[in-house]
């Protein structure tokens, strides 16, 4: 196996799927000649041509709608949002058209929307948001959020081959900061399947995306204090892998849910509700959420550092829970 970074994994997945399947095409602002805001599609325009790598006007609603239309006549479009924050302009297309086509008339809508999300890059309030919560309660959509290069490639391939609209949340902070061994041969990571990122016995930490690495850092700090954490990497946010969540709850009886998204109405609230509804008798303490405060992402670097959950925040939550 070769070792590649998170961004290279996304690029490889796109490239290999476009070679494998002639119906796969890419749309977005500057994805063609320029190669994308983060250079993910660099060289694709020269390789696949202007009809499969389409530079679009600055209209997220327009090119997302065009992708939905193309999917209805047999294509598998991949839409690139330059920054996930801009996806709000395509909200109507995704929520009222793509997500409902199956329920309205049984139509498959195989589109993928790549959403570079998350902070810790000093991008401020308009280039750092976590957008998964905007779509988390929309039936008909799927949402994935890989934390490793292996999953970034495998989940993108699975998303492109899926017949439902998938929002692919790729964390910008991970692009060039993490590397993983990735198989040379074709593979997919199934949508809807979580993984155990670290085995443990005392407390479960359930998380996804860049926070998986923060949770691992916290678990190493807690290991020195003789506290063993089990870390569940959700990989897919919608639909949640309830079986994996309930299994870890029944094993450790104590749960901390961690996400970078703001706290109120977030993914952690739903996970907490599910655990209380289906695993209450297994709990030895409350489910604790560690999340960003309910404010926009600050532009100031020190304030952004305070905004994003840190390993020390997770350590404090776990120690509080262990005392129950």
| 102 classed as catalytic | no
> Which tokens sit at 232?
């569940």
- Interacting residues of 301 by C-beta distance below 8 A, sequence separation 6+: 122
CB atoms within 10 A of CB 311: 18
Give the Cα separation of 112 and 26 in Å (integer): 9
Catalytic member of 127, 171, 213, 259: 127
Give the Cα separation of 165 and 100 in Å (integer): 10
DSSP 8-state class, residue 84? G
Distances (CA, A) of 190 to 2, 159, 160, 248, 259: 21, 9, 12, 20, 22
- The length of the chain is 324
Q: What is the dihedral of CA 274, 278, 284, 286, to 10 degrees?
A: 30
Q: Are strands 236-238 and 142-144 parallel, antiparallel or unpaired?
A: antiparallel
**Catalytic site positions:** 127
């Amino acid at each position: 196996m070769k070792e590649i970074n998170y961004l290279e994994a996304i690029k490889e997945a796109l490239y290999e799927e476009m070679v494998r399947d002639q119906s796969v095409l890419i749309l977005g602002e500057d994805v063609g000649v320029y190669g994308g805001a983060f250079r993910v599609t660099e060289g694709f325009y020269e390789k696949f041509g202007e009809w499969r790598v389409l530079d679009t006007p600055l209209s997220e609603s327009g090119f997302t709608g065009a992708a939905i239309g193309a999917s209805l006549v047999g294509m598998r479009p991949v839409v690139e949002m330059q920054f996930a924050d801009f996806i709000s302009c395509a909200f109507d297309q995704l929520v009222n058209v793509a997500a409902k086509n199956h329920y309205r008339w049984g139509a498959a809508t195989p589109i993928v929307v790549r959403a570079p999300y998350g902070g810790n890059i000093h991008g401020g309030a308009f280039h750092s948001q976590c957008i998964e919560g905007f779509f988390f309660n929309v039936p008909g959509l799927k949402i994935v959020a890989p934390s490793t290069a292996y999953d970034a490639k495998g989940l993108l391939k699975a998303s492109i081959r899926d017949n439902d609209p998938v929002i692919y949340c790729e964390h910008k902070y991970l692009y060039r900061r993490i590397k993983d061994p990735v198989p040379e041969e074709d593979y997919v990571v199934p949508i809807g399947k979580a993984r155990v990122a670290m085995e443990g016995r005392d407390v479960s930490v359930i998380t996804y995306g860049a926070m998986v690495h923060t949770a691992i850092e916290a678990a190493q700090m807690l290991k020195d204090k003789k506290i063993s954490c089990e870390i569940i990497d959700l990989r897919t946010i919608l639909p949640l892998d309830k079986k994996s969540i309930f299994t870890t709850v029944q094993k450790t009886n104590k749960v901390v849910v961690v996400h970078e998204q703001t706290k109120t109405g977030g993914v952690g609230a739903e996970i907490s509700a599910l655990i209380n509804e289906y695993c209450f008798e297994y709990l030895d303490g409350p489910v604790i959420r560690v999340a960003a405060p309910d404010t926009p992402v600050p532009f100031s670097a020190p304030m952004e550092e305070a905004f994003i959950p840190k390993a020390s925040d997770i350590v404090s939550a776990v120690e509080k829970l262990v005392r129950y």
